[in-house]
Structure 1
Amino acid sequence: MNDYDVWWHLLKDAQAGKVPTQVVPNAMRNILEQFFTFTTGSSEFPEAVKKLANEDTSSKYLALDRFVDRGSHRDGINGPPIDWSEYDVPYLLGKFRAMFAALNQEQHYRMKMGEDSTESEVQHA
Structure 2
Amino acid sequence: MKTLKTIAATAVLASMAAVAWAQMNHGTHGGGMMMNMDQMQSMMATMMPSDGDTDAIKAFKEADMEMMRGMAVNYTGDPDVDFRLKMIPHHQGAIDMAKVALQHTADEDTKLLARAIIAAQEREIVEMQAWLAKNRK
TM-score, normalised on structure 1? 0.32
Normalised to the residue count of structure 2, the TM-score between the two structures is: 0.30
The higher-RCO structure (CA 8 Å, 6+ apart) is 1
- Select the structure that is richer in helix: 2
